[in-house]
Amino acid sequence: MQIELPKKTKKVNGEEVVVKSLPTLEESDLLGKPVIAVVGEGKKYTNKNGKEVTPKEVKFVKAWRDGHTKEITSDADIPF
């Protein structure tokens, strides 16, 4: 998604290390961007109706090199 990750120095177990920090993202930073995502099962839980649910969650995301940014309008359907 070509988002610049700023580097910060943090103390971890008393040692200073340089880490990348995720900036605050807006919808416009994400919507319509070409990516490939690996989706898998998340941690099971019991919902308010007593039913056990296994949610799907994104495990990994990488750039879709040959993909093109898609214009998203407020009335657009999810593109999949």
pLDDT for residue 37: 92
- What pLDDT, in 10s, does the model give residues 38-64? 999 999 999 999 999 999 999 998 989
31 band by pLDDT with thresholds 50, 70 and 90: confident
- Full DSSP string of 24-61: P--HHHHTT--EEEEEEE---EE-TTS-EE--EEEEEE
pTM for the structure as a whole? 0.52
User: What is the chain's mean pLDDT, rounded?
Assistant: 88
What percentage of the chain carries pLDDT values higher than 70? 91
- Domain boundaries of the chain, sorted by first residue: 25-66
Contact 63, 26 (CB under 8 A): no
